[in-house]
Amino acid sequence: MTKAIYPGTFDPITRGHLDVIYRASQLFEEVNVVVSYNPEKKNLFTGDERVNLIKEAMGDWPNVKVSKHHGLTVKYLKAQGAQVIIRGLRAVSDFEFEFQMALMNQKLEPTCETICLMPRENFTYLNSSIVKEIFSAGGDISQFVTENVEQALRTNLNKKKK
């Protein structure tokens, strides 16, 4: 059985992420969406909130699960009995970073393979930071995120205003 993990901060999850998850779920017997901690990023949502947002946004996808992890991705990959790391590539500018990470992960864990999936064309410009920026400026993000994510952003923003 080929298992894959799709790690990311997902702060918040976008329709572009969901597109990659869905297509990965068609390629692998099991996909584990892993909410990761990145000390370089200041997250809007906690790890548990992001896990719940993803689960709610996805609904019931039979071969996809959601978890969170703090630490080396390749250690988590091995602990989960997975063989593949899924990464999304939106633009050529993403390639160099992902290429270096794939090589380092393979050095740390020789059985690790990295598969890059490009999102559908209508999601290539989309990322979580842009969504938060548009939302904070009062823009409509309904085409970029699911309804539960939009509501969570609204709730979070209202808390900060108080």
Active-site annotation, residues: 17, 41, 90, 128
Selection from 158, 161, 159, 135 nearest residue 12 by Cα: 135
Are 98 and 8 a contacting pair, CB within 8 Å? no
Q: How far apart are alpha carbons 92 and 65 in whole angstroms?
A: 29
Per DSSP, which regions of the chain are E strands? 3-8, 30-36, 64-69, 84-88, 113-117
Render the burial of 18-48: b for 16+ CB within 10 Å, e for the rest. bbbbebbbeebebbbbbbbeeeeeebbbebe
Q: How far apart are alpha carbons 89 and 24 in whole angstroms?
A: 13
